[in-house]
Chains A and B, each alone.
Chain A
Amino acid sequence: MIKALSITKGIHDWLYSSMSENMAYLVEMILIALVYLAIFAIAGLFLVLIERRVAAWFQLRIGPNRVGFQGLLQTMADALKLLSKELTGTEKADKFLYNLAPYFVIITSLMALAVIPFTQDFHAFDINIGILFLIAISSIGVIGILLGGWSSNNKFALIGAMRSGVQTISYELSVGLSLLTMILITGTLQLSEIVEVQKNGWLIVQGHIPAIIAFMIFMIAGTAETNRAPFDMAEAESELGAGFHTEYSGMKFAYFFLAEFINMFIIAAIATTVFFGAWLSPFGITESIPILGVFWFLAKAMILVFLMMWFRWTFPRLRVDQLLTLEWKYLLPLNLMNIVLMALIVWQNLTIQL
């Protein structure tokens, strides 16, 4: 189940030769978990920096550029500041749930990160129901937000949590259905096999019209799932303070913040895997150098992340009723029709195979 990178082959062999099998298995799992935690932290901080620079660019400012080269260490410094801050809380809050809530959010996004195929070998958990697992995990993250909002004992937080819950539950449907549309072509839920199918052309090319519609729906619904602008009523600053995390401070706030950015990356990564061929290079130009897979994967994911940031800084925020109308009256019927269209195309063999 656990595939190690070819570089880590040595470590793997050494572990199994120096201790008992169970022990080595355990140590290996812990090592992989640590690697993913490190990726989580670094990617989160890096994404926050990118977001700030992109926002500054859109607003004709310069953005953070003082700490380190081009401000590269700015978010690192911010994280240190947040670590040293006092953890405040409300007197009448439900302390247990209040402290538990950030971990729900962070653990679910970590688990989602584990199934994403960065390259052929760099893939921690290649489960045979990969996409279903991703959908299942993403439906649990919202519990953290609901709990955080309720246990803060603050009406802004509660309203923010309710809005977030409504939004996530509705848009989950669109995320699931748009991915299902693509499953019709691949015929498998396993992420490594989905990548394998795309060696005959990325799915967005293979599935042409319905695939492009599915991609657009996925990006809209994905942006809504991560509670980002223009769907950020859960933390609408002008109405709700900071929404569900109003009462959180220091590192607990940072957990929510980091998880939001990692979720954005996960949405981009799923889109990359399902629509744009994950670590496959365009037209197979670097097929002989498998190590470049990481580069292609990250490049594609970063373009999609940039797209989501572009959404954020150009569209105005939606109202709750507009948001629900968009999902239930437009995206959902469109999605269902799209699935039928895709089924017809797959049935008649009208897919484009390069």
Chain B
Amino acid sequence: MERIVFYILALIMIVFAVASVTSRKMLRSVIYLLFVLCGIAGIYFLIDYNFLAAIQLTVYAGGIIVLIIFSVLLVHHIEMELEIAKTSKQILTTVSCLLGLGIFLITIYSHEFNVIENSLTTTTSEVGTKLLSYSDGGFILPFEVISVLLLAAMVGAIIIAKGNKLTDKKDNPA
């Protein structure tokens, strides 16, 4: 049963991933990308990583895709189509993609992956405890580093949004 669900999800993800890069309408590719991301969330649900699945849905499907849709809505008219790249560029992209895929496959097949019979569901409190623990295997350092990054991003966003207003005040003290 799980195997069938996995293959269905994998098929959905591959089809929509290909559709996403080949579609010439911008918003359609965004929606295909959304389906791919939902498929990934589905895989997480399948292996009982519920927390990660919900985060995937909130952050990627609900957050990032909505932001991309917003920017498309602002700049893109419904009748516009994306242009087709030059043949030389197409060939270059194909070669580099195949190369990347080859490296992935070689890595996957040259290493042994142990199948863990994992029937335990990770609870949110375990995730939280790990994030704030500073003993072995704790994630307090990356957690703090990411929060500093977030702060920097917020400051940057405010600077960009305020734009000239910040500098104008300094120049004209009146």
Contacts and interface: CB of A to CB of B under 8 A. Distances in A.
A129 B54 CA distance: 8
Nearest to A149: B73
B134 interface: no
Nearest to B23: A96
B89 to A, nearest CB: 27
A341 to B, nearest CB: 20
Contact of B57 (A94, A136, A149): A136
A147 B69 CA distance: 8
Nearest to A21: B1
A132 B125 CA distance: 13
Interface in A156-186: 158, 161-162, 165, 169, 172
Interface of A is mostly: helix
Interface residues of A, number: 35
Nearest to A141: B62
Given A128-B124, A132-B124, A153-B78, A94 B25 contact: yes
Given A133-B54, A139-B57, A161-B73, A97 B27 contact: yes
A140 B62 contact: yes
* Residue in A135, A139, A151 whose Cβ sees the most chain B Cβ within 10 Å: A139
Contacts, number: 85
Kindly state the interface size class of chain B when it binds its partner. Answer: 20 to 34
Contacts of A136: 54-55, 57-58, 61-62
Interface of B is mostly: helix
Given A136-B62, A165-B70, A169-B66, A94 B54 contact: no
A80 to B, nearest CB: 32
Contact of A158 (B31, B66, B73): B73
A25 B62 CA distance: 31
A116 B14 CA distance: 33
B92 to A, nearest CB: 30
* Residue in A100, A136, A143, A147 whose Cβ sees the most chain B Cβ within 10 Å: A136
8 contacts: A94-B25, A128-B50, A129-B51, A129-B54, A135-B54, A139-B66, A162-B70, A165-B69
For the complex of A and B, list the 7 residue pairs with the smallest distance between their C-beta atoms, beginning with the closest: A139-B62, A136-B57, A136-B58, A132-B54, A136-B54, A153-B78, A129-B50
